[in-house]
Structures are given as structure tokens and as C-alpha cells.
Amino acid sequence: MKKTLLIGSTLGLLSVSSGAFACGQDELTKKSTDLQAAMTAYMQKNPDKAQEMSAKSQQISAKMQDAKNLDDVCKAYDELLASMK
């Protein structure tokens, strides 16, 4: 359930409006796909850390929702990916 919640919230973040930024919609879509795969693998390997990852994901999701441009969203995706390594 927690894994589904994390993936669902991540997918919802793609609603940020796009523009002519260094991080374009194609890159953002790739990062989203990469993040989904990484989160699924991470949760399978570390089920005991699901609650911790959920909290981290929510913090970063808030950053994404407050983002002014796609560069900020890409940075938030990168931050969440890095936290799983």
C-alpha cells in the first residue's frame, strides 16, 4: 500500500506546467520513470524502510508542488533518487 502511495504521488507531480527550461518535459518524464523503478526496487529490498521513504517522498513532493519551473522539479526528483542510494 505504501509503495502504491509513493508511486501514485510521484505520478501526480507531472502536472507541473512546462516551459522552456534546462530540464524539459522529456527529461522530467524520464526521471519520473526512473524514480518509479528505483522506488519499487528500493521498497522490495528495504521493506523495513518504507515509512522513512514515505516521509522523505512527501517532503520532496511538497518541494515539487511549490516548484516555480521544471528545473526545480528535476532537482527534487534527483534528490529523492539520491536518497535511495
Query: Letter for the amino acid at 77?
Result: Y
Neighbours of 47 (CB within 10 A): 10
Sorted by where each begins, the domain ranges of the chain are 23-83
Q: What is the pLDDT of residue 7?
A: 52
The model's pLDDT over 13-48, given as tens digits with 9 standing for 90+, comes to 444 433 434 788 899 899 889 988 988 888 889 889
Its pTM stands at 0.63
Query: Would you say residue 6 has pLDDT above 80?
Result: no
- Residues contacting 81, CB < 8 A, separation 6+: 31, 34, 35, 38
Could you give the CA distance from residue 50 to residue 56 in angstroms, rounded to a whole number?
Answer: 10
Cα 19 to Cα 66: distance, rounded to the nearest angstrom:
16
69 three-class SS: coil
Closest to 61 (Cα-Cα) out of 85, 39, 30: 39
